[in-house]
Chains A and B, each alone.
Chain A
Amino acid sequence: MNYETIIGLEIHAELKTKSKIFCGCSTQFASEPNANTCPVCLGLPGTLPVLNEEAVRLAVKAGTALNCKVNHMNKFDRKNYFYPDLPKAYQISQYDMPVCTDGAVEFECGGRQVKVRINRVHLEEDAGKLIHLEDEPYSLVDYNRAGIPLIEIVTEPDMRSPVEAVTFMRMLKSILEYCEISDCRMEQGSLRCDANISVRPAGQKEFGTKVELKNINSFRELQKALEKEEKRQIELYRFGESHKIIQETRRWDSGKGRTVSMRSKEEAHDYRYFPEPDLLPVIIDEAAVSAIKDSLPELPMEKYRRFTQEYGLSGDDADILTGDRHLSEYFESTVSEGAAPKTAANWVLGDVLRMLNESGISSSEIPVDPVRLRRLISMVEEGKISNTAGREVFREMFVNGGSPEEIVEKKGLTQISSEDAILELVRKVIAENPKSVEDYRGGKTKAMGYLVGQVMKESKGRANPSVVNELLTKELNRA
């Protein structure tokens, strides 16, 4: 008996605005609790919300990037419940008239063409943060996060495996980052995800009972949690106990590696939604939507397609490059300066990425501009300097600036390609390393590598390795 897995996701992303959704408090991380608060986001008596226009713009941008329909009119509603991190005891959210509806994201995964439909994208405010003390009977509340604008993205249950779900999340993250809508850092909480999962016997039309999973803090946890829950449900089916799958919320416990039923609270979640009387409806006209659509950058899937088809890059390479919009733009600038795509890709994915990781500098601020990189690449391609030297030059440019030509000059890195000069070094090395020479002639081809290395050392890395190889082989085979 085969079982089919049905997965839907509910995602929250913090919007990259300077100020909160209903007040002017900063959204920047603040080390001091309650530093970014004011009477409005604290919900002090008498205060009123005023809507941040950038939050709306970013929500519309997200919707258009996800191919949604942008509703001409959307409005806010109050979601009423009591919790210490919710200052007004209601969250201003959107219930029946959200910003966007009916979108879709398509991608290929495991040989299947997957289309995940987006049910809605709506705006809401975030709540504060709670810290529970370990050895004292207190909890502490910090309202810095209260009022930060969020978009909630709800998908239809269109994913059929944990891998599809994670792939979708990666795509979504990539899209939101490309469009500069959100920082999308799951570990920091600017991207959050709850999952709904059910299974059904293959061929059955009705969906099985769905279970909600919470407390997922990374893509890896998402996959693990879904896999565990999928397994749990299928096993219950296999043992004829599928009735034990109840509609509930289960908490992913990464320490224990399993999902745990949350203590169901008797109080039904009756949120008593009603339209927010302190805010007026938001009208978004077609011109505004067009303008936002036009401002969308090329999206990752499109770039990926171009990189693999037009530039002939491998899927993996294209994946890494398109995973970071600034990196991919850097790469393309280098290509448009005249570098061959595959070569440029090697450099970007090799030395550039390595230096970025080492230095912690962001890909939007690479200190070596594409023009200089292209010139460096040309110097290596033309044999003016060796590959090794080229990488040294790049490092120097990255850390201290300067042009490739200057650095090569200053450090005397010009590659020695003259056969005469190299021959001299080759002969010197052969003379000084009789044992290795004997080993080589005795059939130990590895000794060649050692001898080449010695010639390179003698030349301070400047000898053209292919010439060295050629001449060394010739000399060794002579005697």
Chain B
Amino acid sequence: MSGGFTRIPGKDCGFMSVCEISAGVAGGKYSASEITEMYIEKIKSMDDGIGAFLTVCEESAVAQAKALDEKIRSGKKPGRLAGVPVAVKDNICTDGIRTTCASRMLENFIPPYNATVVEKLLSEDAVIVGKTNMDEFAMGSSTENSAFRITKNPRDTTRVPGGSSGGSAAAVAAGMVPAALGSDTGGSIRQPAAFCGIVGLKPTYGLVSRYGLIAFGSSLDQIGPMTKTVEDCARMLEAIQGRDDRDSTSYMGEYQQDYAGRLGRDIRGMRIAVLKEFFTDGLDSEIASSVNESVRRLEGLGAAVDEISIPAAGDGLAAYYIISSAEASSNLARYDGIRYGYRPKEFADVDELMEKSRSEGFGAEVKRRIMLGTYALSSGYYDAYYKRAQKYRKLLRSQMAGVFEKYDLILGPASPVLPFKIGERMGDPLQMYLADVYTIIVNLAGLPAISVPCGISRDGLPIGLQLIGPHFGEAVILQAAYALEQELKLEL
């Protein structure tokens, strides 16, 4: 490492927060270029051992940083993420930068446009340093379904980082970037955040634009921030949220603009519900105790915690997999090799071109979900599966709305299991699906939820706590998460 970095704290193993960097760069304490260089170096030296990145954007990042330094030098006011290096999950489109969804199908796909969230990051002067690994097309809970590489959990490199936003989680956890964007359809931000011991937030459906997010489950997907601290998470959310004319499902009403400023408020009197349905047989005992300890600490801070039951909450998995697979089967039908994407070497006619392109370009899990989804929508089965699943969804929504009339937030574990060993769960798809039980109801109901570290297992593995809020209740969950973070002061 060159001596030029010595005046920057955390150059080797310390940590710099989003807030610290943006304030420092805006205030002239550091230059964007030196920050960017430092983080690119970190990535280059660390990522071989972790495998978080699919693409490192050194050239464009350096150019972005340089332009920002120019901008600051000329007296212009920089954006609120000035100079902050951000990693972006590889299912979010970046103009001119390969976006693969960790799939052979899009191995060489270069989008001609930026996702809205990327445009927002750039307009706030963040620096995009790389695209992160994920489960192929966001289908999976361990990032083992990537067509290109395995990502290792920085806490224990024999274990998975979770998924599908495993690359983003690992990059943040390892200190390769202070912040990353992930996407969450059934827990894909929250579960890897819990596995890697970082903060991950899935916003209310519609709060963050989906334009440019390569679709998996259209009615479930949301992009969200993944960071080391709750404050950083709040700042990132402020930057990426907002109505978007290019996304019809984007929320067009009023919403909170300032989350970071509301952190640190007293949580005395906050009414917290703990879902009985979360404490099932399958829940690891260490996780259970960690969650219970968090409950005690929150009570100590003045929150009122009750145990409640939402009968529909235990039955969400079937509905989730039916809806997400059905939507995915349709969203992924466009990949046929004709306009872009993988093309087989030989094909006799158009049908064979399309068939081979899809069969060779997609991995096993993706094909499995497409098949499930196609089945669920097929004639004769639509009513039995998809329609019923949507009915269930309505029921769940109304039950959860009922809970939020009496409570400010719902609390529970983010995952029933601790981070498992790489390769351990690849055999049985159903078993993998069952582990999503705590997170999917949030997506089905369109609610916001955050995963915040709440403990460490005997083996040193991180444990995450999930806080679920009402629609557009990001401020509440961030507030509670912050209070817990400050109270626990975990050394992670």
Contact = CB atoms under 8 A, between A and B. Distances in A.
Interface stretch (A84-92, A383-391, A438-446): A84-92
A42 B93 contact: no
Nearest to B351: A82
A44 interface: yes
In this complex, the member of A43, A45, A139 whose beta carbon has the largest number of chain B beta carbons within 10 angstroms is A45
B112 interface: yes
B240 interface: no
A80 B354 CA distance: 15
A277 to B, nearest CB: 4
Given A274-B377, A278-B248, A88 B333 contact: yes
A188 to B, nearest CB: 26
B44 interface: no
Contacts, number: 93
A46 B336 contact: no
A361 interface: no
B330 A46 contact: no
A48 B246 CA distance: 7
A149 to B, nearest CB: 16
Interface in B162-213: 210-213
B339 interface: yes
Interface residues of B, number: 40
A272 B211 contact: no
A367 B200 CA distance: 69
Nearest to B381: A272
Interface in B88-115: 92-93, 99, 101, 106, 109, 111-113, 115
A85 to B, nearest CB: 10
B340 to A, nearest CB: 7
Interface in A264-292: 268, 270, 272-274, 277-280
A272 B374 CA distance: 8
Given A44-B111, A45-B334, A272-B379, A50 B340 contact: no
Interface in A70-122: 78, 80, 82, 84, 87-90
Nearest to B217: A277
B383 to A, nearest CB: 11
Contact of A84 (B111, B245, B338): B338
Contacts of A355: none
B17 interface: no
A362 interface: no
Contacts of A42: 339
A123 B327 CA distance: 21
A42 B93 CA distance: 15
23 contacts: A43-B334, A43-B339, A44-B111, A45-B99, A45-B106, A45-B111, A46-B92, A46-B93, A46-B111, A46-B212, A47-B211, A47-B212, A48-B210, A48-B211, A48-B248, A90-B333, A270-B379, A272-B330, A272-B379, A273-B382, A274-B377, A274-B382, A277-B218
Interface of B: 92-93, 99, 101, 106, 109, 111-113, 115, 210-215, 218-219, 245-249, 326-327, 330, 333-334, 336, 338-340, 350, 354, 374, 377-379, 382, 386
Minimum-distance CB pairs A-B, first 5: A89-B333, A272-B377, A277-B218, A277-B219, A45-B214
Given A270-B378, A272-B377, 20 more contacts: A45-B93, A45-B99, A45-B340, A46-B92, A46-B93, A46-B115, A46-B211, A47-B211, A50-B246, A51-B248, A80-B377, A82-B333, A84-B350, A89-B330, A89-B334, A90-B330, A90-B333, A272-B382, A279-B249, A280-B249
